[in-house]
Structure 1
Amino acid sequence: MSNELIINSTPKGDRIALLQDKRIVEYHIEQSEPQFSVGDIYLGTVKKLVSGLNAAFIDIGYEKDAFLHYHDLGPNLNSLQKFSRDVMNKKGKNIKLENFKIEEEIDKLGKIDKVLTRNQLILVQVVKEPISTKGPRLSCDISIAGRFLVLVPFSNGVNISKKITSKAERSRLMKLMSSIKPKNFGVIVRTVAEGKAVEEMERDLRDSISKWEDGIAKLVDAKPRDRVIGEMSRATSMLRDLLNNDFDNVIVDNQDLYNEAKGYVHQVAPEKEKIVKLHTGKTKLFEQVGIEKQLKMLFGRSVSLPAGGYLIIEHTEALHVIDVNSGNKSNSEEDQEATALSVNREAAKEIARQLRLRDMGGIIVIDFIDMKKADNRKLIQDIMRDEMRTDRSKYTILPLTKFGLMQITRQRVRPEMNVATHETCPSCGGTGTITASIAVSEIIAQHVEHLVTKQNEKKLTLLVHPFLSAYFTKGFPSIRMKWFMTFKSWIHITEDSSLGITDFKFLNHNGDEIEISS
């Protein structure tokens, strides 16, 4: 299976697509100045204590106060608070966690107002980004994620991922991490660490400790609402979590992002540095790789299945509902049970992809086509479990009921991804009336004549919808060829399916858009 990470830079932020075998499985949009991302650590201020919820609301600079439950304080809150105060009070220039005396753990069943007070400064980490009308969700159980391990300050334990099942490997990793980790730092070994050499594990540990120490150095002069430790960019964090021997390409169309990605890969896996490539072609990156078309087809209310069935996906405040329909598949199998099984198998694979692609979280209810045989229902559950194995979010899958319903809970830490699949009509602008859209070719021809003869533009490029591109370039002699014979200038025509069918743009020889007066 091939894996590719495609990163397109836009004025509004970066669009990031993860492809497996050329099919998009994850899609993210990162704002130009990301804030309140999962993993960010802030110096917050306790604004309100709510005894009924056993929680506090913390001001970290978001428009709504962030939520911190007692259970998310972590057992070592007292150690975190004392260490933070010592650093901010500058009691010694080099305060090291290794030399710090760990305080007594807080009561697991305690009350929030017994450990926190209003206007108190507190170091917190974002565990869930702002979603809908809710502010960020916070934790005081600080952790620093690395490529092979997660560093947990104020702890001394070593935990191994449950997905590493080999006793010998678990024992090796336990002994290794216990011998190299510093005092007062706990470690959670990630699944990807299986079989990794001592040098790689040690380098990753040093990088995580360095990140912690840099943040603590910032804490000395930090003010309330300041971000002390920032999570790496979404693209780099995906590389950190996903980069392995199966990764084929990381393609970027921005020089700064290219340098960042290449620098990170060089740091963690120098042998994979060649997979990072800079896209310099005239065709838009998402257009060239075929992502633009996939996005428009995959984010609608209705999603087609390869053999004729389709899904209907509805979102509500409480849950997501997915309905599986057979469509024109209904007459292609021997009997109703065979048809239901065939469509449900395809649907299970596509639904697992959709959950990851749209980053749908909370409760998901799937209405599969009814099947009478228990073995077939068990098979669909097994397929869903296998397909979701690569999902990085935590999830639980319940068996199909006799009514064909499957319930899934999936952790949501970021706002659900959505892409507009309905466009305002480019001809009428949403008014419902069209004025001479058939004349668009004549309008373009008039602009070509003006730009070439009046403005003396050389190497002109015309961006149009694929339908218009075919209209201008097909046939003999084509319209473009007629332009060449008339104006003695070749017009480059580029397809861009993100444009409306009657939209068009002109680019000059530098690739800059030419303003066209209507």
Structure 2
Amino acid sequence: MKSELVVDVQQKEISIALLEDSRLVSLQKESRNIAYAVGDLYLAKVKKLMPGLNAAFVDVGYEKDAFLHYLDLGPQFNSYNSFIQEALSDKKKVPNISKFKLSPDIPKQGTIQDLLQPGQQLLVQIAKEPISSKGPRLTTELSFTGRFMVLMPFGEKISISQKIKSTEEKIRLRQLIGSIKPKGFSVIIRTSAENKRVAELNNEMKTLVRCWEESISKMQRSQPPMLIYEEDSRAVSVIRDIFSPNFENIYVNEQETFAQIQNYVALISPENKDIVKLYNKDIPIFDNFNITRQIKSSFGKTVSFKSGAYIIIEHTEALHVIDVNSGNRSKASPDQESNALDVNLKAADEIARQLRLRDMGGIIVIDFIDMNKVEHRQTLFDHMKEVMANDRARHNILPLSKFGLMQITRQRVRPALDITTSETCPSCFGKGEVQPSLLFTDKLGEKLDYLVNILKVKKFTMYVHPYVEAYIKKGMFSLYGKWRRRYGRSIKIVADESLAYLQYKVFDDMNKEIDLKEESDFNSNQSKTHARQKHGVNEEKD
């Protein structure tokens, strides 16, 4: 199976698509501008205690105070607090955690006012990002995540991923980590550590310990609120969790992110460094690999698959419901029972893909087409377990009930991905009336004139719907050729499948979008002067 990663870096977000034999099986979108990301460490100050909630509000610099519950302090809070206060009281000396004596665990039913007080300084970690009007959720149970392990100070435990099944390998890893682990740290061994050499694990252990030491040193030089430690870049942190030596290619369309990913791959898998490739074509990277089309067809209420069959996916507050339909199948089996089995097996393939693609967590109920034979029902159950075997999220699958329903529980790895496949008309914004389509190319011509002659932008790329691009470039004496002769050879018109029919975007030679919406019509010299000034163009003096 050919596995590839495609990384699309835009101004506001990074999208990472996993392809297996050119088929989209996983899509992750991460905001580039998000602050207070999960895993970041902050030096913070307790603002207010809330005994009724058994929690505290903590100032980490966010507009809303962050929330720290008693249960998020961690059982080793006494050890943690003693260490942090000692480090803050003597800022010339970094305490050695290996020589630090651990204190007894705090009681599970304790109260927040027994442990914290207003004004107290804490080193906290973001456990949940801000949502809507709520601030971040915090924890003082600190952890540093690597490719093969998670390092947690103030403990001595060694835990091993349940996905590692071999007893011999578990014993080997436990003994190995126990021999290289510094005193005062707990370690969770991740699935990717299976069959790894001592040198690889030891290098990562040293790297994570160094992150801890540098964080404490920076904390001593800082005043709250202050960011102390930041997780890897969003692209690297996602790839860290899904990277596999089996990947044949990783394509990235931005130089800085390309360098970060290449350096990371060179660190963890030097022999695979060359699989990271910089994509620099004009065609959008997702269009080039047929990902945009797959996103449009894979998200939404109804999803079709082979032979005319389809599934309907409905979401409720408590669960997800999937209904399987045979539709107008062109290649029906000779009898109804065989036809039902054939459709159900293909539906199972698509459902397993959809669960990963949308990250559908919680309870999933699937209404397969009814089958009377017990052996067919068992075949479907076994097949579903087989196609779900590669799913990284923990899940549990139950056999079909007497009503033909299959129940699945699945852990949510990240926030559910919600992509709207319907498009709002960019001309009428849902009002029902649009400008004449025939005049759309005239509008584009006006925009080109405005960009070149008013904003003085000489080199840019305009992205339009593929149908519009085909119309503009058709024929020997095309509109495209006319515009390039008039406005210069540095302008480009490129098709983008993600755009609506009458939608367009413009990017300058630095790949920054030029927003033309609010400058759509300038009816006075004053407005044109304002436009020039906004985009850094000076008026010419008479």
TM-score, normalising length: structure 1: 0.85
**Pairing of 1:254-265 with structure 2 (within 5 A):** 254-265=254-265
8 Å CA contact 1:326–1:343 kept in 2: the answer is yes
Question: Structure 1 55/383 Cα, relative in aligned 2: closer, same or farther at 3 Å?
Answer: farther
8 Å CA contact 1:153–1:186 kept in 2: the answer is yes
Counterpart residue type for residue 80 of structure 1: Y
Residue identity over aligned pairs, in percent, reads 46
* 1:341-391 alpha-carbon deviations (Å, 9 max, x no partner): 222222222222222222233333333333334443443343333333333
Counterpart residue type for residue 40 of structure 2: D
Question: Structure 1 511/223 Cα, relative in aligned 2: closer, same or farther at 3 Å?
Answer: closer
3-state SS of 2:406 partner: strand
* CA–CA distance in structure 1, aligned partners of residues 509 and 52 of structure 2: 66
1:319 aligns with 2:319: yes
User: How much does 1:59 deviate?
Assistant: 5.0
**Pairing of 1:254-333 with structure 2 (within 5 A):** 254-329=254-329, 332-333=332-333
Partner in structure 1 of residue 398 of structure 2: 398
Partner in structure 1 of residue 532 of structure 2: none
1:13 aligns with 2:7: no
Question: Structure 1 367/81 Cα, relative in aligned 2: closer, same or farther at 3 Å?
Answer: farther
8 Å CA contact 1:48–1:118 kept in 2: the answer is yes
8 Å CA contact 2:5–2:251 kept in 1: the answer is yes
* CA–CA distance in structure 1, aligned partners of residues 133 and 362 of structure 2: 15
8 Å CA contact 2:332–2:339 kept in 1: the answer is yes
Counterpart residue type for residue 22 of structure 2: K
Q: Structure 2: 5+ residue runs without aligned partners?
A: 522-542
**Pairing of 1:445-456 with structure 2 (within 5 A):** none
User: How much does 1:453 deviate?
Assistant: 12
**Pairing of 1:421-436 with structure 2 (within 5 A):** 421-436=421-436
Question: Structure 1 64/463 Cα, relative in aligned 2: closer, same or farther at 3 Å?
Answer: closer
User: How much does 1:61 deviate?
Assistant: 4.7
8 Å CA contact 2:397–2:406 kept in 1: the answer is yes
* 1:159-194 alpha-carbon deviations (Å, 9 max, x no partner): 222322333322222221111111111222222112
Partner in structure 2 of residue 187 of structure 1: 187
* CA–CA distance in structure 1, aligned partners of residues 395 and 59 of structure 2: 30
Q: Structure 1: 5+ residue runs without aligned partners?
A: none
* 1:279-322 alpha-carbon deviations (Å, 9 max, x no partner): 22122222212222222222222222223222222233333332
User: How much does 1:499 deviate?
Assistant: 2.5
3-state SS of 1:389 partner: coil
Question: Structure 1 480/436 Cα, relative in aligned 2: closer, same or farther at 3 Å?
Answer: closer
Of 283-292 and 381-390, more deviation after overlay is shown by 381-390
3-state SS of 1:80 partner: helix
Partner in structure 1 of residue 105 of structure 2: 105
8 Å CA contact 2:480–2:493 kept in 1: the answer is no
Partner in structure 1 of residue 368 of structure 2: 368
3-state SS of 2:261 partner: helix
Question: Structure 1 364/297 Cα, relative in aligned 2: closer, same or farther at 3 Å?
Answer: same
**Pairing of 1:61-140 with structure 2 (within 5 A):** 61-62=61-62, 68=68, 70-90=70-90, 93-108=93-108, 110=110, 114-116=114-116, 120-130=120-130, 136-140=136-140
* CA–CA distance in structure 1, aligned partners of residues 456 and 66 of structure 2: 58
Counterpart residue type for residue 315 of structure 1: H
* CA–CA distance in structure 2, aligned partners of residues 120 and 507 of structure 1: 48
User: How much does 1:215 deviate?
Assistant: 1.5
* CA–CA distance in structure 2, aligned partners of residues 418 and 112 of structure 1: 37
Aligned pair count reads 517
3-state SS of 1:379 partner: helix
* CA–CA distance in structure 1, aligned partners of residues 259 and 433 of structure 2: 48
**Pairing of 1:116-515 with structure 2 (within 5 A):** 116=116, 120-130=120-130, 136-329=136-329, 332-412=332-412, 414-441=414-441, 463-473=463-473, 479=478, 494-504=494-504
8 Å CA contact 1:465–1:495 kept in 2: the answer is yes
* CA–CA distance in structure 2, aligned partners of residues 51 and 509 of structure 1: 56
* 1:314-336 alpha-carbon deviations (Å, 9 max, x no partner): 23333333222222239712333
8 Å CA contact 1:61–1:225 kept in 2: the answer is yes
